[in-house]
Amino acid sequence: MSQTPPFAVPTSAGKRRRVLSEIGNTEEAKSPGKSRRTSLGFDLVRIPTSPKQNRPNPPKSSPKAMETVSSAMPRPTALADMNIRGSAIPTLKKTDRFERFLTINESLNRKSTINGHGSDSLASAIDRAELKQQSSKPALEKLLGESKRLDHELQKASRKLSYSQEEAFATRKLQRALQNEHNTLKVAVEEQVGKFEFLSAQVTARVEKIERGVEVKIEEHRRKAQSTYDGVRDEIKAELEHALRLGDEESAKELASLKAQKTQLEEELKKAIASNEAKISAQKLDSQNQVDAVAKELDGRVMAAESSRRELQLEEAAIDEENLALETAISEQKLANQKAKDDISALERTIQGYVLSKSDFDARIFQQNDALGAQKAHENDWACKEASARAVYMEEKQKYHKYTCTRRRLEHAIAKLSEKHRVFVRVKASPDHLSLLKQAFDFDKLTSYTPECSPECYPECSPECSPESTPDHPYSLEWELLAKESLTGSQVSLLFVGSPQRGINQQLVDIFSFLMSGHDHMTPRGWTYTVYFQSILVQDDTGAACDLLNSSSEVEFLSTKDRTSIVSQKMLVKNAGEVSSILRNKQRTPGVYIHAYTVEGVNVAESQKISGMVMVGDVSSLAWHQQKQLLTGESRCGGLDEMFGRSSLNHTCIDICDMEDIQDPGAQELLAVLHQRACQK
């Protein structure tokens, strides 16, 4: 019997847990510095995985000295891990059952009892645990039954609740439908009532109008009849009075006797006429009856004869039609038989020809199939090559696009930091001549263009034409970033010089598209922009300014310390088609064209307002010396000298020049002036 250690006697559940966490049993000597949780010399807590496994017999050994367990030691994560590494209180999971809880509890109770009383009380501890388990089983079964019953009632209540919710939803849906139908019917009834009241009012007014008209007509006829009756009565009365004044008593008596005789004779005449007419009518009626009877008899005979004649004719026609149909069928059958014989002969000959040529066709089809297979394989190879080449092309195109975008941004940033006036020149020249020009002049961009992509080879673009579809669109991207500077409140300017520009309208459309692109980029930041457009023409012969929007001369140039502004009519622009449609039909005359986009931005969130401008000048319609005078400030128009002749402010100005005839002396002088402007700071 092993000696019971004094520290292993628990008196409560809390002490038992504390004791179990501190028990350590080492059978062999451990190296110093190492401390770990160990199990007892006998393991009665291990739960067998199957009922066939037997419990191991606990060996008798005396407990060793208690070791200090490190707090960093990992806790057991499962029941088997707990039994192997040492005693611990496991944490129940959601999937654990009451049986597992009771098993763990019983195991811990047994281990606690063994640690407290030694191995001699092992049998009594096991017996007590089994008795406790047997006593707790009925209560557990009762609890399980109650839990199942409650689950069943809960499911039943859930189903009833779902049914009630569905019925409530259906009732609400039906109620909404009935309410909608009631509202619809109510609106329809109100409309019908309104229509009925309107029609009733119209009918009532019309009936009253008709009644008034009828009453007026009746009154008019009554007045006319009354007047006629009064006139006739007066005339008869006057005649009677006149006759009474002229006649005597004898003539009156004679007249009365004559009237009585006349009346008697008229009555006798009427009676004679009536008797004669009755006799004549009776005689006529008898004669007519006799004639009608004879006529009816004759008509019956004629109708019977006619009916028999028609029946005979119909029978004859039916017999004739039947004979004709039989003759036609016989002739058609003969023709069909002959045609069938001919067709059979032709088919026999055709079959013989098919049989002879079938082998030839089979051989040719076999050869064609081989050739077709080879062609398809060849096409597949070329399709793969094309796909790979297209992929390489798209990759290179994407790289080139990124390169050009990066180049334009870097050039714009360099110009912005260096405050250098930029000049872009395009000439019609050979590559050798172009290299000589690059050595002679220091321009920001000096390129050549061919007649196929020159501005003169395409008409003015319509409003529906996209900027990307025009030949000059890649070239106009060079000043996209400069145009977008106006969205930050700057005033930028573009000056087109050199040969006459025929695509200036498309350049204005491109600039507007750049502004709209920047507007879309700044919209998420809370900015809203409004774009206004101005367009004027300064004639070269008189120097008079004309507003191209309203064809008026009310134009004024205002010069400030660092800029020159234009006072003219402004037009709100919402799409590029409005600008193009205004300038497309304008007749182009020699002069200085100045177009301006005024950009006004508002940020409501930050309470900010900015105003910028993109000024586009076009002097390409002037002669070489006039362009030179404008650029050097030697012209006689003060406003234009202030605008174009002054030194460049900063990076906000670009000169764009297209040269067709580079050998012209005037063109050489203009290039020299542009070179001087490019070298200015």
Averages of pLDDT over runs of 10 residues in the chain (681 residues) are 44 54 47 44 44 47 44 46 47 55 72 54 60 71 78 80 80 79 79 78 80 80 76 74 66 73 76 77 77 78 80 83 83 84 82 79 85 90 92 91 84 74 78 71 68 41 41 70 84 84 81 88 88 86 80 78 75 85 74 88 88 86 82 68 54 78 78 76 52
* The pLDDT value given to residue 22: 55
- What six digits make up the tokens of 148? 């199942």
The Cα 556–Cα 289 span in angstroms is: 117
How many separate helices (H) and strands (E) can be counted in the chain? 13, 11
Nearest to 625 by CA among 679, 664, 675, 677: 664
The Cα 647–Cα 71 span in angstroms is: 82
Residue with tokens 């006649």: 247
For the chain, the helix, strand and coil percentages under 3-state DSSP, each to the nearest 5? 65, 10, 25
- DSSP H helices in 445-495: 473-476, 480-484
Nearest to 116 by CA among 2, 1, 5: 5
* The pLDDT value given to residue 12: 54
pLDDT digits (tens, 9 = 90+) for 580-619: 787 776 667 788 888 889 999 998 888 889 888 888 888 8
Residue with tokens 């004898």: 250
Exposed e or buried b per residue across 288-324, where buried means at least 16 C-beta atoms within 10 angstroms of its C-beta: eeeeeeeeeeeeeeeeeeeeeeeeeeeeeeeeeeeee
pLDDT digits (tens, 9 = 90+) for 187-196: 887 777 777 7
* Domains recognised in the chain with CATH numbers: 6-117 (no CATH), 419-679 (3.40.850.10)
The CB density around residue 603, as the number of other CB atoms within 10 Å, is 14
Q: What is the mean pLDDT of the chain?
A: 73
528: β partners: 602
The residue count for the chain: 681
* The pLDDT value given to residue 38: 42
- SS (HEC) of 350-395: HHHHHHHHHHHHHHHHHHHHHHHHHHHHHHHHHHHHHHHHHHHHHH
* The pLDDT value given to residue 97: 57
The Cα 105–Cα 98 span in angstroms is: 10
> Are 116 and 54 a contacting pair, CB within 8 Å?
no
For 180, residues 6+ apart whose C-beta sits below 8 A from its C-beta are none
pLDDT digits (tens, 9 = 90+) for 352-381: 877 787 778 788 888 888 888 899 999 999
* The pLDDT value given to residue 48: 47
> Are 437 and 428 a contacting pair, CB within 8 Å?
no
* The pLDDT value given to residue 82: 46
> Are 591 and 626 a contacting pair, CB within 8 Å?
no
What are the DSSP calls for 318-343, one per residue?
HHHHHHHHHHHHHHHHHHHHHHHHHH
> Are 109 and 129 a contacting pair, CB within 8 Å?
yes
The Cα 81–Cα 644 span in angstroms is: 91
Q: How far is the CA of 485 from the CAs of 490, 548, 613, 615, 676, in angstroms?
A: 6, 26, 9, 12, 25
> Are 567 and 613 a contacting pair, CB within 8 Å?
no
